[in-house]
Amino acid sequence: MEAGKRYKIACIGAGNVGASAAQYCAEMELGDIVLTDIVEGMPQGKALDLTEAGPIRGYNSVLTGTNDYADIEGADVCIVTAGLPRKPGMTRLDLLKKNGEIITDICENIAKHAPNSTVVTVTNPLDVITYLAFKKLGFPAERVVGMAGCLDSARLRSFVAMELGVSMKIVDTMVLGSHGDDMVPLPEYTTVSGIPITKLLPQDRIDALVERTRKGGGEIVQLLKTGSAYYAPGASAARMAQAIIRDEKQLLPCAAHLTGQYGLDDVYIGVPVMLGKKGVERIVELDLTDAQKDALHNSAGEVREGIKGLQEAGIL
């Protein structure tokens, strides 16, 4: 963190996750925040509403809303949540193409107006979209990183804490792989004050918590009936922005560009990443069991399928 510098965070997509990320960034006073969306008035309204919460919550971030990408000029971090939800009758591939077009347009604008920023992608399908963003932005891979593992691990951490009746603050975990059903949780790296949960819980309970994490997004969708999770996703994106802006060198699970690590090349997938002011400053390679390695490779296979879909559609 440079002394005296005011940082700027652009939340591109001011829907549920984007606005929630903006709120958490403001609460942590990470910098000034620009909410951007195609819907006229909505980002402006949310920015004003969040500004009016400032005196009560005691933050001094300046929040603005806009429909004009020129306003993201000079952003240090761009959090990209823009996209469309899947509509009835739409296949996964239809959604990928639609969101692929949206992300392509956004990346052109980020490259033009915030060429030195670090980009945190959130839009689904996360790993494929992050790869697309990396290709379209033309930024070094260090400055393009995807948010999913932070959320998946936060879910597992909260489930473990609830199960054991301990504070969430003392539960830590690492979740690898792509976002969704193909995630690869690592129970032996899931600890309570340093004690692996494999020593605290029977295998069937660990399996149940891992399964609940895998389906974590769906559980919320079912309860909400309309829309999907946004508090924890927003908090996770803000957590990554915090690690970057404050140069924390935090080890967080993030979608990063692999170039041979874990035996995978030229794909984005969730791995432990050291996040600091340069973005992805290091990718940590853990010793995995053969089953975990296979699961990670399966996960990467799914991501490659998505990338192929974008290539066939002429988007990549």
Residues 6+ apart with CB under 8 A from 264: 258, 296, 297, 300
Given the structure tokens 């979740």, which residue do they identify?
Answer: 175
Respond yes or no on whether the N-terminal peptide bond of residue 88 is cis (omega within 30° of 0).
Answer: no
Residue 147 interacts with ligand TXD (CB under 6 A): yes or no: yes
Residue 83 interacts with ligand TXD (CB under 6 A): yes or no: yes
Single out the residue of 237, 264, 300, 293 nearest to residue 17, CA to CA: 237
Q: What 8-state DSSP symbol labels residue 197?
A: G
Residue count at the site for ligand TXD (CB under 6 A)? 29
Compare residues 84 and 164 and give the one whose CB is closer to ligand TXD. 84
What's the closest the beta carbon of residue 165 comes to ligand TXD, in angstroms?
27
Residues 207-226 that bind ligand TXD (CB under 6 A): none
What's the closest the beta carbon of residue 3 comes to ligand TXD, in angstroms?
33
Compare residues 145 and 258 and give the one whose CB is closer to ligand TXD. 145
Compare residues 67 and 250 and give the one whose CB is closer to ligand TXD. 67
Is residue 179 annotated as part of the catalytic site, yes or no?
yes
**Following CA atoms 192, 194, 200, 201 in sequence, which dihedral angle do they give, to the nearest 10 degrees?**
60
Residue 230 interacts with ligand TXD (CB under 6 A): yes or no: yes
Per-residue contact string for residues 99-138; x = within reach of ligand TXD by CB under 6 A: ---x--xx---------------xxx-x------------
Exposure string for 129-146, b = 16+ CB within 10 A, e = fewer = bbbbbbebbebebbbbbb
What's the closest the beta carbon of residue 204 comes to ligand TXD, in angstroms?
27
- What does the alpha-carbon distance between residue 27 and residue 60 come to, in Å, rounded to a whole number? 9
Ordered DSSP codes for 275-312: EETTEEEEEPPPP--HHHHHHHHHHHHHHHHHHHHHHH
Single out the residue of 285, 267, 283 nearest to residue 275, CA to CA: 283
What's the closest the beta carbon of residue 7 comes to ligand TXD, in angstroms?
21
* Candidates 7-15, 200-208, 271-279, 302-310; binding stretch for ligand TXD (CB under 6 A): 7-15
Residue 228 interacts with ligand TXD (CB under 6 A): yes or no: yes
What's the closest the beta carbon of residue 84 comes to ligand TXD, in angstroms?
6
- What does the alpha-carbon distance between residue 238 and residue 243 come to, in Å, rounded to a whole number? 9
Residues classed as catalytic: 179
Interaction site with ligand TXD (CB under 6 A):
12-18, 37-39, 81-83, 85, 102, 105-106, 122-124, 126, 147-148, 151, 179, 228-230, 233
